[in-house]
Amino acid sequence: MLSNDLERIKYFAKLANAFDETLLNIRSHIANNPDALRELAYALYESDRFEQTLSVAMQGLAIAPAHPVLRYDAARACSITGDVEQSRQHIEIAVSVHSKNPYFQSHYADTLLRLGEFEEGWKRKKWYYQLPGIEESMVQLPFPKWSGESVAGSTILLVGEQGRGDEIQFLRFAEWLNEKGAIVDALVSEPIAPLAKSMASIRATYTRIPPCSYQYWCHITRVPEFMNLELSMLPYATGYISSSPEKDDFWNHRINALTASKASRHNMKIGVVWEGGPAHSLDRFRSISLNTFIPLFTLPDVTWFSLQKGKSEQASRALEENFDIHTLGPEIHDFTDTLSILNQLDLLISVDTSVAHLAGAGGTPVWTLVPAYGDWRWLTHRMDSPWYPTMRLFRQRKLGNWIEVVSEVRDALLARTHLLYGESAPAPVAPPCGDTLASPIPLSCP
- Hey, where are the domains in the chain? 2-117, 138-233, 246-424
Q: Kindly indicate whether the domain formed by 138-233 is annotated with CATH number 3.30.450.
A: no
Domain 138-233 matches domain 246-424 at the CATH topology level? yes
pLDDT band of residue 22 (cuts 50, 70, 90) is confident
pLDDT score for 136: 80
- Examine the pLDDT at 169 and tell me if it is beyond 60: yes
pLDDT band of residue 441 (cuts 50, 70, 90) is very low
Tell me, yes or no, if the pTM score tops 0.75.
yes
pLDDT averaged over every residue in the chain: 90
User: What mean pLDDT comes out for the span 390-397?
Assistant: 97
User: What mean pLDDT comes out for the span 281-294?
Assistant: 94
Closest to 93 measured CA to CA, from 120, 112, 74, 78: 74
User: What mean pLDDT comes out for the span 415-425?
Assistant: 63
The H-assigned helical ranges of 321-402 are: 335-342, 354-362
Closest to 54 measured CA to CA, from 89, 104, 5: 89
pLDDT band of residue 12 (cuts 50, 70, 90) is low
User: What mean pLDDT comes out for the span 293-301?
Assistant: 94
The H-assigned helical ranges of 152-213 are: 164-170, 173-179, 193-197
Roughly how many angstroms between the first and final C-alpha of the chain, as a whole number?
A: 64
Note the Cα 150 to chain centre separation in Å. 32
The strand ranges marked E within 202-293 are 204-206, 216-219, 268-273
pLDDT score for 4: 58
User: What mean pLDDT comes out for the span 8-36?
Assistant: 78
pLDDT score for 446: 44
* pLDDT above 70 coverage of the chain, percent: 89
pLDDT band of residue 433 (cuts 50, 70, 90) is very low
Q: Are strands 388-395 and 384-385 parallel, antiparallel or unpaired?
A: antiparallel
Under CATH, domain 246-424 is a member of which superfamily? Glycogen Phosphorylase B; (3.40.50.2000)
Under CATH, domain 2-117 is a member of which superfamily? Tetratricopeptide repeat domain (1.25.40.10)
Q: d(Cα 268, Cα 397) in Å, to the nearest integer?
A: 28
pLDDT band of residue 241 (cuts 50, 70, 90) is very high
Q: d(Cα 387, Cα 138) in Å, to the nearest integer?
A: 25
User: What mean pLDDT comes out for the span 197-205?
Assistant: 97
pLDDT score for 303: 93
- Examine the pLDDT at 414 and tell me if it is beyond 80: yes
pLDDT score for 437: 39
- Examine the pLDDT at 265 and tell me if it is beyond 90: no
- Examine the pLDDT at 10 and tell me if it is beyond 60: no
Q: Classify 292 as helix, strand or coil.
A: helix
- Examine the pLDDT at 422 and tell me if it is beyond 70: no
Q: What is the pLDDT of residues 93-127, one digit of tens each?
A: 999 999 999 999 999 999 999 999 999 999 999 99
Angle (nearest 5°) at CA 190 between 212 and 234 = 90
Q: In Å, what is the CA distance from 205 to each residue of 87, 160, 162, 182, 240?
A: 40, 11, 18, 15, 15
- Examine the pLDDT at 88 and tell me if it is beyond 80: yes
- Examine the pLDDT at 429 and tell me if it is beyond 60: no
- How many CA within 13 A on the CB side of residue 250? 13
Q: What is the pLDDT of residues 305-363, one digit of tens each?
A: 999 999 999 999 999 999 999 999 999 999 999 999 999 999 999 999 999 999 999 99
* pLDDT above 90 coverage of the chain, percent: 80
